[in-house]
Amino acid sequence: MRVIDEATSKMHFDPKAKPKGMLRIVLAMKNSVRAISWLVKNESAFRQELILLILAAGVLAFWSIPYMEKTILLSSILFVLFAEIINTAIEVTIDRIGKEIHPLSGLAKDLGSAAVLVTIAISSLLWLATLCRYF
């Protein structure tokens, strides 16, 4: 938990002051909602993937396939969103460290982007395999 140092007026992390129990869960949920809200406002790729999730949920609501397959297909889109969140976290961290161009900073960002690409490929393969099975 963040605590203000009385002597310096600086904020620092105090691991002993971490919340416990239900308060920890509530605060974690609040932080997660704040992060998702930030992503929706600031990351167009996340918005696009969120729209894809909503469309996929709509298609799956009417598609007569077993619930396990629906779950797998929907999870594949959620996996893309997960990768996008991690990619954005990497990008924000690199930008926090410094704005100067550095090969390792670029590589870290590219690796995050590659992770998103791999999850999109996985999701696409699952959807295509399912479509081929039923059509």
Residues annotated within the binding site for a divalent metal cation are 43, 91
Q: Which of 77, 74, 84 is nearest to 36 (CA)?
A: 84
56 close to 78: Cβ distance less than 8 angstroms: no
Q: Which of 83, 82, 85 is nearest to 114 (CA)?
A: 83
Q: Which of 20, 30, 12 is nearest to 2 (CA)?
A: 12
* C-alpha–C-alpha distance, residues 110 and 98, integer Å: 16
Binding residues for ATP: 24, 43, 91, 100-102, 109-110
Binding residues for substrate: 24, 45-49, 84, 113
Binding residues: 24, 43, 45-49, 84, 91, 100-102, 109-110, 113
Q: Which of 72, 36, 43 is nearest to 56 (CA)?
A: 72
Reply yes or no on whether 84 is catalytic.
Answer: yes
Task: Write down the catalytic residue from 80, 84, 94, 105.
Answer: 84
Active site residues: 84
